[in-house]
Amino acid sequence: FEGTPYDVAIIGDYNIGGDAWSSRILLEEIGLRVVAQWSGDGTLTEMKATPNVKLNLIHCYRS
């Protein structure tokens, strides 16, 4: 893992409504690199990278 100053992780719910995907797209459009997405469709590789991010963002369903 090679980090950047713009690495973030999205930590939240199961992503039933697809909200985390929309949030991820918006964050990437403003220049952040989403390294991990902790929801029902996150991967173990992403979870392992989470301690290396600069900011953890909490995402709630329909937030």
pLDDT recorded at residue 6: 97
Do the domain assignments include residue 23?
A: yes
Containing structural domain, residue 31: 7-58
**Total domains in the fold of the chain:** 1
Supply angle C-alpha 3, 6, 58, rounded to 5: 105
Mean pLDDT, residues 34-48 taken together: 87
* Residue 26: how many other CB atoms lie within 10 Å: 11
Question: Which of the four pLDDT bands, split at 50, 70 and 90, describes residue 59?
Answer: confident
* CA gap 23, 38 in Å, rounded: 13
Mean pLDDT, residues 36-55 taken together: 89
Do the domain assignments include residue 24?
A: yes
Confidence (pTM): 0.82
Task: Provide the token pair at 45.
Answer: 């590789």
CATH number for the domain spanning 26: value is 3.40.50.1980
pLDDT recorded at residue 1: 78
